[in-house]
Chains A and B, each alone.
Chain A
Amino acid sequence: MKFTLNGAEHSIEADGDMPLLWALRDVVGLTGTKFGCGVALCGACTVHVDGAPVRSCQTTVADVEGKSVTTIEGVAGSGEVGQAVVAAWRKLDVVQCGYCQSGQIMSAVGLLSENRKPTDDDIDAAMDGNVCRCATYQRIRAAIHDAAANLA
């Protein structure tokens, strides 16, 4: 099974039905993408496939054959949006336990790639699928606005 992972060609041996989440974590060994619910309810597992955010727990290895996958490990290097988002997260010290933040960042990069000037409602719509049990939402919102300002 071949796909591009964070810009490099990758080939893995895995059952095509295996969720991408487990293939990334257990087969490739990239553990930045997190398991939170396994059923598309929390967003912790969010990665980009051909630039769009998807829940890797609901995407199979077969689904990404020949496609380009970006994870938290590669997102800052994937372009100016990724860089701006990660920088804003650090500047505002968004993280608490940090466990949801890979997914939050991937969703935020997805939002800002489509919409460079999101309103609070746009942020609610794009980010409501990403749970943070530490409730860092206020800072996530501020960081998205901060990244947007820096990208303008």
Chain B
Amino acid sequence: MHLIKPDHYRKMLAGQLAGQSAGSGEPVAPSRRGFLQGVAAIGGALVIGLHLETGKAFAAAAKDGPMPNAFVRIAPDSTVTVLIKHLDMGQGVTTGLATIVAEELDADWSQMRAAFAPADALLYNNLAFGPVQGTGGSTSVANSWEQLRKAGAAARHMLVAAAAEKWGVPASSITIDKGRLASGSHSGSFGEFAEAAAKLPVPTEVTLKDPKDFRLIGTRLPRLDSADKTDGKAIYALDIRRPGMLTAVLRRPDRFGATLKSFDATAAKKVPGVVEVVAVPNGIAVLATNTWAAIQGREALADIVWDEANAEMRSTPELMTAYKQLATTPGTSAAKRGDAAKGLSGAAKVIEAEFEFPYLAHAPMEPLNCVIEKTGDGVTIWTGSQFQTIEQAVTAGIMGIKLEQVKIETLWAGGSFGRRANPPADYVAEAATILKAIDGRAPVHLVWTREDDIKGGYYRPMFYHKVRAGVTADGKIAGWEQQIVGQSFIVGTPFEAFIVKNGVDGTSVEGASDTNYDIGNFAVDLHTVPSKVPTLWWRSVGHTHTAQAVEVMIDELAHAAGRDPVEFRMELLKDKPRHAAVLKLLAEKANWGPKAGQGKGRGLALHESFDTVVGSVIDVSVVDGQIKVDKVICAVDCGIAINPDVIAAQIEGGVGFGLGAALHDEITLDKGLVEQSNFDGFIPLRMSEMPKVEVHILPSANAPTGIGEPGVPGVAPALSNAIFDATGQRLRSLPFKLEDFKA
């Protein structure tokens, strides 16, 4: 299931701009005026096709060199810069997207460069999101695939036409090899023809390469960002320095939903370097000439009184108890086939299992931050922007200006994992409210500390799953009943009307209600619970919990039926050749079969997310009563593999990210107060815990699908199943309590 269908985004943006409340965390709702202006700005931009030559941003970008179209810039020295409309938060899209253009252009990889495109939804919208520029749902390569192939092919066509004219030869006689044009005795570089090519009409139709002729796609080209990220040159938002800039830190309420009543800033203002202290909708901002002074100034704030009348005061165990209670009652049906209850009544063996999932922080390595500055007719924002159009709309609403007066410079982002893409554009909105509070006197750099990040909400919601499933005497699934309880980050926002169908938020049940397994008697119910805790998608969204419940349960049923987990799944996938092929490759590569031996275990999971299928086998050993994760073997079908090494990196990283969640990650509340504050309480995976990861990619002729997220969902269930294999103990809830483990 897609996280959010394209149509949702179109309507959602309209809702967003219309000034509906975007959830509990939003400080200021964008105005009705913002909506009308926003629609004017984005109207008619649903289809770009090859009409790439319009738009202000294009004109501005073209000043830096001739551009045959909005995505390709060719300099006199023949370097080719691809304008990247997506955020690169580590997933390597700059490299992947540049490769697509280079392929059709027949460029040499060494001449390729990448630059982040300006915020301009007319030119740079995500085709999976409608008229919104943004990155998410592992769509970057998938939505750009055809667009950039065409952009590369169009640029090639124009270079060839320019050369044909100059040389007086037919265009059909010109070849391009590794960035050199040639015909007979003529030969020339891209740079020589860039100027002339850019003046030619953009072709209305282009022929794309036959994939069998690909020379760059499918090879391990080096990343474009390795050099700058290894010598300190790569610029993140945290590195932006503007003349007269003030660094701001914000004192937010201790409890979600609380608001500021009063405070005393006398001592804070005396801290050397502190320039101003202002109240804003989300708390108290301390502005200083450097970060250290701002942090010290914040510590010196005194007598802060919050109004907690509407705050979340409960503890997480209390919430979980309520979730469990709800799961004993019928919920809203998310899927129903056959008759699960009847099937189960005839089962030979029935298993009842509970799965608990905590709140999770994203904790991107670069603490959230952004710079905002007043310009002649608007504002400029520098940030690792993941939802450019939404950030423009929200900022325009706060500043009382038009969407197109908000300029965004997208920079390298030090991670996101979903955190930077949020409907209320929370930290950008905070920065704008601070700039407004000081009347735009100085550029403002809002910096979150790690404590702000861990305590700041927008967590992956807590979830509870209860599954009752059974097998027949002949080893088939007799029935499957699943109750899912959790908070929705869609309900209560403008997204609700478009994503919640028949009372079911698709992001809460994806990966369970739409399972690929052929289960005849099947029912999934959802209970959506409210809370003041702001929540958000977290790398792989609903699959972060549904994969654990489904894949552990399938393993339990296989064991109950006395069947091999691979063979058991194969039978359930008989109508899903793509999934079966991944499972087959995985079983081969992992040499699936005999039990690994005393004190050893191996477990399996297979899961589809973001149109990509990933199978994972995890090997563990029991060492001195402790579980050690030895090796992870993954098989992946993500369509045509643009860059197998970047794909491998995403799976390796996804495994590490998933392991962190399986072993450690957890945000808990005590009477509404977040109990963790930094990397001592919210524990990241470290080097010594990282297993060997092996990645096998299925050859494919299909268009590329997602890769940033699909490595995550299978990790916890494969590990859980491996621990069962090694020890006979079922660990279902996350994070696994390994200290309770007895060998």
Question: Which of the residues A42, A95, A141 comes within 8 Å of B229, measured between beta carbons?
Answer: A95
Q: Which residues of the partner chain A approach B292 to less than 8 Å between Cβ atoms?
A: 15, 18-19, 22, 26
- Of B297-305, B547-555, B648-656, the one with at least 4 CB within 8 A of chain A: B648-656
Which A residues touch B231, using CB under 8 A? 32, 72-73, 76, 86
Q: Which residues of B contact A3 (CB under 8 A)?
A: none
Q: Is B595's beta carbon under 8 Å from chain A?
A: no
Q: Which residues of A contact B656 (CB under 8 A)?
A: 132, 134-138
B653 touches A136 (CB 8 A): yes
B624 nearest CB across to chain A (Å) = 16
Contact present for B415 and A99 (CB under 8 Å): yes
Determine if A10 is an interface residue (Cβ-Cβ < 8 Å).
no
Q: Are A96 and B92 in contact (CB under 8 A)?
A: yes
State whether the Cβ of B223 lies closer than 8 Å to any Cβ in chain A: yes
Q: Which of B227, B247, B365, B657 has the most CB of A within 10 A?
A: B365
Q: Is the CB of A138 within 8 A of B290?
A: no
Which residue of B227, B232, B659 contacts A33 across the interface (Cβ within 8 Å)? B232
Considering the complex, give the chain A residue whose CB is closest to the CB of B88.
A97
Q: A19-B292, A89-B226 are in contact. Are A134 and B653 (CB under 8 A)?
A: yes
Q: Judging by beta carbons under 8 Å apart, are A99 and B272 in contact?
A: no
How far is B291's CA from A141's CA once the two chains are assembled, in angstroms?
33
Q: Which residue of A has the minimal Cβ distance to B295? A: A38
Main secondary structure of the interface of B (DSSP, over half): loop
A97-B414 contact in complex given A76-B231, A89-B230, A138-B692, C-beta closer than 8 Å: yes
Does B111 make an interface contact (CB < 8 A)?
A: no
Most chain A beta carbons < 10 A, residue from B90, B232, B290, B291:
B232
Distance in angstroms from A34 CB to nearest chain B CB is 7
User: Does A22 contact B230, Cβ atoms closer than 8 Å?
Assistant: no
A35: chain B residues at CB < 8 Å are 238, 291, 367
Contact with B along A120-143 (1 / 0, CB 8 A): 000110011011111111111100
Contact with B along A92-133 (1 / 0, CB 8 A): 011111111110010000000000000000011001101111
B356 lies within 8 A of chain A by Cβ: no
Report if B412 contacts A (CB, 8 A).
yes
Taken together as a complex, chains A and B put the C-alpha atoms of A145 and B378 apart, in Å, by 51
Stretch at the interface among B211-219, B333-341, B677-685: B677-685
Residues of A within 8 A of B92 (CB): 96
Are B649 and A139 in contact, with the CB atoms below 8 A?
yes
A102–B241 alpha-carbon span in the complex (Å): 19
List residues of chain B with CB within 8 A of the CB of A100. 365, 414
| CB < 8 Å neighbour of A95 from B225, B450, B657, B692 | B225
CB <8 Å contact, A86 and B365? no
Q: Are B687 and A124 in contact (CB under 8 A)?
A: yes
Q: Are B232 and A32 in contact (CB under 8 A)?
A: yes
Task: Decide if A124 touches B414 in the complex (CB within 8 Å).
Answer: no
**B661-692 interface with A by 8 A CB criterion:** 678-680, 684-688, 690, 692
B254 at the interface (CB under 8 A from A): no
Chain B residues closer than 8 Å to A32, beta-carbon distance: 231-233
Nearest-Cβ distance from residue B665 to partner chain A, whole angstroms: 11
Q: Mark B548-587, 1 if CB is under 8 A from A, else 0.
A: 0000000000000000000000000000000000000000
Beyond A41-B679, A135-B685, is A96–B653 a contact (Cβ under 8 Å)? yes
Question: Is residue A37 within 8 Å, beta carbon to beta carbon, of the partner chain?
Answer: yes
Asked if B65 CB lies within 8 Å of chain A CBs, one says no
CB distance from A5 to the nearest CB of B (A): 13
Complex Cα–Cα for A21 and B223 (A): 29
Contacts of B90 in A (CB 8 A): 95-98, 134
In the complex, how many residues of chain B place their beta carbon closer than 8 angstroms to a beta carbon of chain A? 61
Number of A interface residues in the complex (CB < 8 A): 55
User: CB of A11 within 8 A of chain B?
Assistant: no
How many Å lie between the Cα of A38 and that of B447 in the bound state? 13
Partner of A97, one of B247, B415, B646: B415
Determine whether the beta carbon of A95 is less than 8 Å from that of B226: yes
Find chain A residues with CB under 8 A from B167 CB: none
Q: Which residues of B contact A139 (CB under 8 A)?
A: 649, 652
Which chain A residues lie closer than 8 Å to B649 at the CB level? 93, 96, 136, 139
Report the separation of the CA atoms of residues A86 and B228 in the bound assembly, to the nearest whole angstrom. Answer: 11
Residue contact B366 to A22, C-beta cutoff 8 Å: no
Of B90, B229, B235, most buried by chain A (CB within 10 Å of CB) is B229
Tell me if B232 and A72 are in contact (CB < 8 A).
Answer: yes
CA distance A86 to B684 in the complex (A): 25
Instruction: Report if A95-B291 is in contact (Cβ < 8 Å); known contacts: A37-B450, A38-B450, A100-B365.
Output: no
Closest CB of chain B to A111's CB: distance in Å?
11
Report the nearest B residue to A27, measured CB to CB: B290
Q: Which among A30, A41, A97 is the interface contact of B412 at CB below 8 angstroms? A: A97
Whether B679 lies near A37 (C-beta < 8 A) is yes
Known contacts A100-B365, A124-B687, A140-B687; decide if A135 and B657 are in contact (CB<8 Å). Answer: yes
* CB–CB A101/B693 < 8 A: no
Considering only CB atoms, which chain A residue lies closest to B222 in the complex? A93
- Rounded to whole Å, the gap between the CB of B358 and the closest CB of chain A is 18
| B415, chain A: closest CB distance, angstroms | 5
Distance (whole angstroms) from the CB of A146 to the closest CB of chain B: 14
CB distance from A40 to the nearest CB of B (A): 10
Q: Determine if B230 and A31 form an interchain contact, defined as CB atoms under 8 angstroms apart.
A: no
Tell me the bound Cα distance from A30 to B413 in angstroms: 18
B116 within 8 A of partner (CB): no
What CA separation (Å) do A137 and B685 show in the bound complex? Answer: 10
A84 at interface by CB-CB < 8 Å: no
A133, B417: Cβ atoms closer than 8 Å: yes
- Flag whether A151 is at the interface (Cβ < 8 A): no
Tell whether A98 pairs with B232 under 8 Å between CB atoms, given A31-B238, A37-B678.
no
Q: Which residues of B contact A128 (CB under 8 A)?
A: 686-688
Q: Could you tell me if B678 and A39 are in contact, using CB atoms closer than 8 angstroms?
A: yes
Q: Is the CB of B678 within 8 A of A133?
A: no
Instruction: Report the Cα distance A137→B291, complex, angstroms.
Output: 30
A97→B420 CA distance, assembly (Å): 14
A131: chain B residues within 8 A (beta carbon): 365, 679, 684, 686
In the assembled complex, B645 has its CB within 8 A of some CB on chain A? yes
Residue of A nearest to B643 (CB): A93
- A86–B232 CA distance with the chains assembled, in angstroms: 11
Q: Which residue of B lies closest to A31 (CB)?
A: B239
The residue in chain A whose Cβ has the minimal distance to the Cβ of B652 is A138
Q: Given contacts A35-B238, A41-B680, A139-B649, is CB(A98)–CB(B687) below 8 Å? A: no
Question: Most chain-B CB neighbours within 10 Å: which of A41, A100, A133, A138?
Answer: A133
Chain B residue, CB-CB nearest to A136: B653
Verify B687–A26 contact, CB threshold 8 A.
no
Q: Cβ of A123: which chain B residues have Cβ within 8 Å of it? A: 687
Q: Provide the residues of chain B in CB contact with A19, threshold 8 Å.
A: 292
- Which residues of B lie under 8 Å from residue A22 when comparing CB positions? 290-292
Cβ contacts under 8 Å, B278 to chain A: none
Q: Is B494 engaged at the interface, CB distance under 8 Å to the other chain?
A: no
Question: Most chain-A Cβ atoms within 10 A of its Cβ — which of B92, B414, B659, B687?
Answer: B687
Task: Enumerate B246-291 residues with CB–CB distance to A below 8 Å.
Answer: 247, 272, 290-291
13 intermolecular pairs with C-beta atoms under 8 Å apart: A30-B232, A31-B235, A32-B232, A35-B291, A35-B367, A42-B450, A42-B679, A93-B645, A100-B414, A123-B687, A128-B688, A135-B685, A136-B656
Which 8 pairs from chain A and chain B are nearest by CB? A32-B232, A135-B656, A99-B414, A98-B229, A97-B90, A96-B90, A31-B239, A137-B690
Residues of B within 8 A of A (CB): 89-92, 222-223, 225-236, 238-239, 241, 247, 272, 290-292, 295, 363-367, 412-415, 417, 449-450, 645-646, 649, 652-657, 659-660, 678-680, 684-688, 690, 692-693
Q: A25-B239, A137-B690 are in contact. List 19 more A-B contacts (CB 8 A).
A: A19-B292, A35-B238, A35-B291, A42-B450, A73-B231, A89-B230, A93-B646, A93-B649, A95-B225, A96-B653, A97-B413, A97-B414, A97-B415, A99-B365, A128-B687, A135-B659, A136-B653, A137-B686, A139-B652
